[in-house]
Amino acid sequence: MAAADTGVCIPDPAALMKTPMGPDAPLPDAVAAQLDAAVRAALPFAAAPGIIAGVQTPEGRWTAAYGIADPETGRAMQTGLHTRIGSLTKTFTGTLLMQLADSGALSLDDPISAYVEDIPNGERISLRMLANMTSGLPNYTLTDAFWADFAADSGRVYTPEDLLSYIATEPPLFEPGARFDYSNTNTVLLGMVIEQVTGQPIGDTLRTEIIEPLGLGATVWPGRSADLPEPLARGFTLQGDDVSPDAPLEATFWNPSWGWTAGEMISTLDDLLVYGQALASGQGLLSEAAQAERLASIPANGGYGIGLVCAGGWIGHTGSLPGYNTTLYHDANSATTVVVQANSDIPAGDCGDMDVLPDNSEDAVCATPATRVFIALSSALGNEFVQPSAD
């Protein structure tokens, strides 16, 4: 998920932190028509039954839905439907970590060995390294053992300890801090630290420290449950056993506990538009000092910081898990937040050996559906996003 080298990614952090929340008023018809046209032009290259999209600017808000939420019934996609948001969960986990560091309950430079035993290089891996993906710990979701178990039983409930067991015999990829490597293992470990420091389940802390303060009434931490609140969009994937490009699997109720604090949350468009503004500015979430430190954790020319990405002035994260794909970014230059949700994680375009649909066109760069539509919207807004190397 390394960002492109596009110069200084956040030119004025102080101004970003003072950006007011955008109004609920609709954007002018001409702007709405331009955004709608951008989405419609991208849809043929987005392998999803349906798309939900929203843009929040200092002048107002635009939201729209396209396609189908439930192919079996033909129910149309709507802007208020719940979807799984995958690795956007990492931004929530990173926010809790910064809150605890700001309060003095922990230090970002604490070693993970102070909280979790038997982690390779644990005495030299700091919480900061876990948060910015430089720990060198392998990603449990890339192990053969995990995928065998996941494919065999999509309803299985995983504990954090279960997830760590998949890398118990895997050697570190590199020395702590040596370089970037995106790993779900890092954010699972941070979730374990947060639970230990707060003395309560992570879902409770998310609710009291982020969800309730921001009024995110439709955002959910499912815990061990595979339920998805109504109204919902049904999700489809080409991941798993017994799947072929001609017959994607429905993954709506696959248990997301395998993602835990790295990827199991649920939300809606309106909530994510509010959250995206708060994530970028820190307002309602972090003190100015803590938000300044978080923004400073991002490499100057773009890349991965403490649970968030910056690329070309766009600050946020993507999220994918079987059945769903979400993109949330805030443009620091124009104070514009863009959210796209898709009820598919299937890539499209020139995707090499990746599984794609039979009607896939290779006349486009490979992208997941939400990212495809987001790039189109970012271009229409005047700051085209340069896609990170991993979704």
pLDDT at 242: 79
- Inter-CA distances, 301 with 7, 107, 180, Å: 5, 26, 14
Whether 51 is covered by a domain: the verdict is yes
CATH code where residue 69 lies: 3.40.710.10
- How many domains does one find in the chain? 1
Determine, yes or no, domain membership for 280.
Answer: yes
Q: Looking at the domain assignment, is residue 318 inside a domain?
A: yes
Task: Please report whether residue 38 resides in a domain.
Answer: yes
Task: Quote the domain boundaries for residue 318.
Answer: 13-380
pLDDT, position 340: 99
Q: Does residue 375 belong to any structural domain of this protein?
A: yes
- Asked whether residue 390 is domain-assigned, the answer is no
pLDDT by residue for the chain (391 residues), tens digit each? 333 343 589 999 999 999 999 999 999 999 999 999 999 999 999 999 999 999 999 999 999 999 999 999 999 999 999 999 999 999 999 999 999 999 999 999 999 999 999 999 999 999 999 999 999 999 999 999 999 999 999 999 999 999 999 999 999 999 999 999 999 999 999 999 999 999 999 999 999 999 999 999 999 999 999 999 999 999 999 998 778 888 999 999 999 999 999 999 999 999 999 999 999 999 999 999 999 999 999 999 899 999 999 999 999 999 999 999 999 999 999 999 999 999 999 999 999 999 999 999 999 999 999 999 999 999 999 999 986 554 3
pTM: predicted TM-score of the whole model, two decimal places: 0.96
17 burial level (CB within 10 Å; 0-12, 13-18, 19+): middle
Torsion sign, CA atoms 165, 169, 173, 177: positive
- Sign of the Cα pseudo-torsion (229, 230, 231, 234, in order): positive
